[in-house]
Amino acid sequence: SAVGRGPEVPFRSEAYRISAIARGKELRLTLSALDPAAALSQDLVFRFGMSGSFRLCPAAELPRHAHLRFLTRESPPRTLCFVDARRFGSWRLGDTWQPERGPCVVSEYQAFRENVLKNLDDKAFDKPICEALLNQKYFNGIGNYLRAEILYRLKIPPFEKARTVLEALKDQEQERWKKDPSLTLSKKVKLMQENSDLLELCHTVPMEVIRAEKQLFDPEHSDNYATFKNWLQCYLVPGMSSLRDHNGRTIWFQGEPGPMAPKGECPLFSLETHSCSGRDEDWPALSLVTSHTLKRCLRVAANSLKSDEEEGDGLRKGRARWRRKVTPAPALPETEVLLNTRRSRRMSARRGRGEARSP
């Protein structure tokens, strides 16, 4: 489309096949010509941003924001569209994945687990666990709603230090293998599934969504998120708390936030009842008040309580506090009050009639 941010696709063929493979938060499409003599093919790697998706629809009924379109040869034709309302998504030519992304939490679980545990000295793990989970170098495929669901199931405070949480897993794993060095790889995997830890849930929770996709998302009504919202246990769930992390992303959780929570921030509680259309842009509006408003209210309440205690005890601690004396304004003479009242009435009447002010 004219407003799409991706490059033009230099591929032309009367008939071709589209195949796809996913890795973390990226998807690679391969366009292959059906004519063997043509030997044409083109690879595209997509990133979806917050709102990108593929949709198959009649060619005469293109959805808004369909930035890339693949036409079928049916009659009437249909179109496979890359739809992205916010245009955060993108595509690029070629078959290479982004180099800074680690192994996929879904399709490369063992490599993903090893990549995390052998790199715990990286400064990325100095951050809170909720922020480390969004680092695609180590957690390729984990996003905002997944991190909330994973931490909630394990009752891990989101602002606990990432290295503290993950080093404990490394120690537990080493002790387990020492006790039974004869364990085969398949038995190790089975044992980890029976005793799920944080890295294991980084694999199994996304798999729940993938396996139940037809039940969670209605392909005929892609804006209907009702079933998916019922699957969620923590993210945007009424009664849960939320905070903005140091990157400005909202994390939903239950209980204490943890020792590395942003200073001066207080957890906000979601509305007990709300109406929401299901679109991403509507969901962040479920917080009761902004953190700035909450902090101001708490500060006023604390100062009021402190002032009452000081007045009641008659004590003054620390440096002297000067109270500002409030003196009443002098009363105006009665004639002047009447003149001011009449003048204000005349001005109001003029403004009501749309008259210009006198100089």
Q: Are residues 115 and 255 in the same domain?
A: yes
On whether the CB atoms of residues 203 and 197 are closer than 8 A, the answer is: no
163 is a domain residue: yes
Per-residue model confidence as pLDDT tens digits over 218-234: 656 666 678 888 899 99
327 is a domain residue: no
In terms of pLDDT, which residue wins out, 348 or 266? 266
5 is a domain residue: no
Q: What pLDDT, on a 0 to 100 scale, did the predictor assign at position 83? A: 92
Q: What pLDDT, on a 0 to 100 scale, did the predictor assign at position 280? A: 39
The angle subtended at Cα 337 by Cα 331 and Cα 338, nearest 5°, is 155
- Domain of residue 204, residue span: 109-270
Report the CATH number at residue 73.
3.20.190.10
| C-alpha to C-alpha distance for 50 and 121, rounded to whole angstroms | 31
Q: Are residues 240 and 162 in the same domain?
A: yes
Q: Are residues 135 and 77 in the same domain?
A: no
Q: Are residues 184 and 266 in the same domain?
A: yes
42 is a domain residue: yes
Question: Which of 73, 72, 18 minimizes the C-alpha distance to 44?
Answer: 18
Q: What pLDDT, on a 0 to 100 scale, did the predictor assign at position 303? A: 54
* Among candidate residues 59, 93, 127, the one where a domain is terminated: 93
**Band of pLDDT at residue 349, cut at 50, 70 and 90:** low
| Residue ranges of E strands in the chain | 16-23, 26-33, 41-47, 53-58, 66-71, 78-83, 90-93, 241-244, 250-253, 268-269
| C-alpha to C-alpha distance for 89 and 135, rounded to whole angstroms | 18
* Among candidate residues 35, 62, 93, the one where a domain is terminated: 93
Q: Are residues 126 and 228 in the same domain?
A: yes
Q: How many domains, the chain?
A: 2
Q: Are residues 136 and 252 in the same domain?
A: yes
Q: Are residues 41 and 172 in the same domain?
A: no
334 is a domain residue: no
| C-alpha to C-alpha distance for 112 and 259, rounded to whole angstroms | 27
Among 194-208, 213-227, 231-245, name the one with the lowest average pLDDT: 213-227
177 is a domain residue: yes
- Phi/psi of residue 296, each to 5°? -65, -40
* Among candidate residues 270, 286, 311, the one where a domain is terminated: 270
- Prediction pTM value: 0.68
Q: Are residues 225 and 147 in the same domain?
A: yes
Q: What pLDDT, on a 0 to 100 scale, did the predictor assign at position 131? A: 98
Per-residue model confidence as pLDDT tens digits over 45-95: 999 988 888 999 999 999 889 999 998 888 999 999 999 988 889 999 999
Q: Are residues 229 and 113 in the same domain?
A: yes
In terms of pLDDT, which residue wins out, 292 or 162? 162
Output the six-digit token pair for 81: 């569209």
Report the CATH number at residue 221.
1.10.8.50
Q: Are residues 26 and 145 in the same domain?
A: no
Q: What pLDDT, on a 0 to 100 scale, did the predictor assign at position 115? A: 96
Q: Is the model's pLDDT at 153 over the cut of 80?
A: yes
Q: Is the model's pLDDT at 239 over the cut of 90?
A: yes
211 is a domain residue: yes
Q: Is the model's pLDDT at 213 over the cut of 70?
A: yes
Q: Are residues 182 and 254 in the same domain?
A: yes
Q: Are residues 137 and 53 in the same domain?
A: no
187 is a domain residue: yes
Per-residue model confidence as pLDDT tens digits over 134-147: 999 999 999 999 99
Q: What pLDDT, on a 0 to 100 scale, did the predictor assign at position 272? A: 47
Q: Which residue type is seen at 53?
A: S
Q: What pLDDT, on a 0 to 100 scale, did the predictor assign at position 212? A: 82
| C-alpha to C-alpha distance for 270 and 4, rounded to whole angstroms | 36
